[in-house]
Amino acid sequence: MIRINWKHAAVALAVLPFAALLFAWIGFFNVGASTGHWKITDWFLHFAMRSAVRTYALAVNEPERLPVEAIKPAAGHFARGCAICHGAPGEPRSPAAMNMLPRPPDLSYSVGEWQDAELFRIVKHGVRFTGMPAWPTQNRDDEVWAMVAFLRALPDLDVGSYRELAYGNAGAPELHTTSFGGAVAECGRCHGADGAGGGPATPLIAGQSEAYLAASMEAFAEGRRASGFMALPAAAVDAAEIDALAAHFAALPPQRHDAGQEVAQDRLERGERIARAGVAAAGVPACLGCHGADRNPLYPRIRGQRPDYLAQQLRLFRAGQRGGGPFSHLMTNAAKGLTDEDILDLAAYFATQDDPGR
């Protein structure tokens, strides 16, 4: 029978941290990236990562369905910020990524290993001790879920369908846009060359006021308006080009979204009542007081805008997560009293209206 000398064991435990510190100070531990971890270390790190993701994913509130309508801007973000490491259809991983330890996985094959909540956790918070960063903002879970929706679609995309989603009719993005033409192409990947946008979650920017567009770009670039989708391209545009871009898209003919499915008349009527009179009992002012024909140039044109986009912006304002220009606090206060039905009614109403200012 083995007898343990607890005194000796306690001394060993007390000395162990100092021995580890001495080992690190001497520099014997190889931190070079030319070779990988010991197999036991590699196994332990992956075991710990997968276990942590699985555990923290238990606290994730999953939506009833993935927001497939927002796949296009998610694809654009993936092309700019993710494909260089993870690859994409027709775009192999970069040689630098292939030499990383651990090597970033090809998500076309590995995404099926994770549940939706686990993918959300990884995309939002990243993974320490790897090259996987957190989402550019922690206040846009809707964008993270859009990326999860895109990742679910990725294995079934061929080269053509991927490039259509990620680039539209524009070329591959520049890592740092230095020319005006490159900046226009960067915007056009999601918003279209005509400013008409590329999907339900992307706003129409053609014909918006120059002041509003410039203020929005500056807010995205400086982090005052949270968006992982917009943070990278806005920061990549030289500050001197922001005014030129705003002038370019403001001068384009205003667009109106394709109506698609019909909207119930009672929803439109309720939306019009709120737009014209507000909801006094809930402290909601009349929307047309600011968004009518004589609006401030720093207020956006919302008539004819896509309903899904309008509804999401109202939800963000209501949650206090939508910053932006110098008057964004007015919308935060105005949206506090809106119910989910109010938001859908308003979005439906404004989406069906023509702009009297044009």
Q: Please tell me the distance from the alpha carbon of residue 2 to that of residue 278, in angstroms, as a whole number.
A: 81
pLDDT at 356 over 60: no
Task: Give yes or no: residues 242 and 334 share one domain.
Answer: no
- Residue where the block lists tokens 């520099």: 27
Structural domain boundaries enclosing 323: 265-351
Task: Give yes or no: residues 62 and 157 share one domain.
Answer: yes
Based on the number of CB atoms within 10 Å of its own CB, is 45 exposed (0-12), middle (13-18) or buried (19 or more)?
Answer: middle
CATH number at residue 143: 1.10.760
Does some domain include residue 319?
A: yes
Q: Show the tokens assigned to 30.
A: 């190889």
pLDDT digits (tens, 9 = 90+) for 82-127: 999 999 999 999 898 888 888 899 999 999 999 999 999 999 999 9
pLDDT at 156 over 90: yes
Does some domain include residue 38?
A: no
Write down the pLDDT at residue 172. Answer: 57
The tally of domains found in the chain comes to: 3
Radius of gyration of the chain (CA): 25
Does some domain include residue 32?
A: no
pLDDT digits (tens, 9 = 90+) for 233-279: 888 888 788 999 999 999 999 877 765 567 889 999 999 999 999 99
Task: Give yes or no: residues 160 and 219 share one domain.
Answer: no
Task: Give yes or no: residues 158 and 184 share one domain.
Answer: no
Does some domain include residue 246?
A: yes
Task: Give yes or no: residues 280 and 342 share one domain.
Answer: yes
What is the model's pTM?
A: 0.88
Q: What are phi and psi of 251, to 5 degrees?
A: -80, -10
pLDDT at 296 over 80: yes
User: CA distances (Å), 49 to each of 46, 122, 127, 204, 301, in order?
Assistant: 5, 10, 8, 41, 46
Write down the pLDDT at residue 157. Answer: 96
The domain boundary residue, chosen from 250, 280, 299: 250
Does some domain include residue 107?
A: yes
Segment 309-327 shows an average pLDDT of 91
Task: Give yes or no: residues 153 and 182 share one domain.
Answer: no
SS3 of residue 91 by DSSP: strand
Write down the pLDDT at residue 169. Answer: 64
CATH number at residue 305: 1.10.760.10
Task: Give yes or no: residues 212 and 229 share one domain.
Answer: yes
pLDDT at 175 over 60: no
SS3 of residue 85 by DSSP: helix
Task: Give yes or no: residues 54 and 162 share one domain.
Answer: yes
pLDDT at 312 over 70: yes
* Omega before 102 within 30 of 0, i.e. cis: yes
Does some domain include residue 321?
A: yes
The domain boundary residue, chosen from 194, 220, 250: 250
Write down the pLDDT at residue 266. Answer: 92
- Asked if 147 contacts 60 with a C-beta cutoff of 8 angstroms, the reply is no
pLDDT digits (tens, 9 = 90+) for 177-225: 567 888 888 888 888 888 887 788 899 999 999 999 999 999 999 999 9
Per-residue pLDDT band for 131 (boundaries 50, 70, 90) equals: confident
The domain boundary residue, chosen from 127, 146, 166: 166
Between CA 72 and CA 297, with CA 239 as vertex, the angle to 5 degrees is 75
Does some domain include residue 357?
A: no
Task: Give yes or no: residues 123 and 65 share one domain.
Answer: yes
